[in-house]
Amino acid sequence: MSLQQEIIAKLGVKPRIDVDEEIAKRVAFLKDYVKKAGAAGLLIAISGGIDSAVATGLCKRATDELTQETGKAYMTLGVFQPYGEQEDIEHSYSVAEAFGLAHKVETNIQEAVDEIAIETEYAFKALGMPRHLSRGGKGNVKARTRMVVQYALAFDLNLLVVGTDHASEALTGFFTKWGDGAVDITPLSSLNKRQIRQIAQRLGVPEAVLNKAPTAGLWEGQTDENELGVSYEANSDYLEGKEIDPQAREILEKHFRRTEHKRQPIPGI
């Protein structure tokens, strides 16, 4: 078995999907877990990108169906988390509007992130290594701070935090382990980016969101494809078992090997 076949089997990606079947399966998955957990609903951070938009649509269907089936009110809470001014925040709000979210809130993380950066730089200085926090380091602080706020809300409201992790990200390890990756449930985990786009189109994700360049928003101008050096088209082709450009294959498999620890549970002895 080739490494490509091993990765596909490990991540559970299908070579093609029935969109309606996948939507129904993932909505049922969310509903079942909410009931098992005794939760009051789901919390999803809406970044304005396609992944969180699809997760929002699935969450809203799940809680609407639970409410209808049980007669008890279940909530999908949409959370917008800009760092200062977010140029495209209207995309986040358009997703909430498209899916009719009654519960939504904006929590700006800038002051918290900047304070953490300052305290970290004080620590560097105390260690005799005066320096600024790196761009990547501050990007990770943003991701983790967003999760702190999400869990603060979710704990008191008895909600499950929904992640947007998917197979195209898992392939490259493009997430912060136990930062934006530490969530309660991941309804997109066995889908690649192309399949997420197919589901987005069926769910009615706004066109402006569908056409955005994928970004984790870690710093100004950052895009996933530039950061990783491979397009999501090639990434999705790889996960569907297709032949891709040898250089792209090498980059993807190098990312996979280097980030294996990020896909593993916390080790112990």
Residue of 20, 21, 22, 51 with catalytic role: 51
The CA-atom distances, in angstroms, between 179 and each of 168, 174, 258 are: 18, 12, 18
Does the active-site annotation cover 225? no
- Nearest Cα to 241, choosing from 231, 250, 230, 249? 249
Helix axes 246-258, 232-239, angle to 10 degrees: 80
Does the active-site annotation cover 121? no
Cβ-based neighbour number of residue 71 at 10 Å: 7
The CA-atom distances, in angstroms, between 171 and each of 10, 62, 139, 167, 185 are: 10, 27, 20, 6, 18
Distance CA 205, CA 147 (A): 24
- In 44-134, where does DSSP find H-type helix? 50-70, 89-98, 110-126
CB 185 within 8 A of CB 71: no
3-class SS shares of the chain: helix, strand, coil, % to 5: 55, 5, 35
**Which secondary-structure segment (H or E) carries 4?**
helix 3-11
Q: Which two tokens stand for residue 160?
A: 């499950």
Distance CA 119, CA 154 (A): 27
Residue of 165, 169, 180, 224 with catalytic role: 169
What positions carry a catalytic annotation? 51, 169
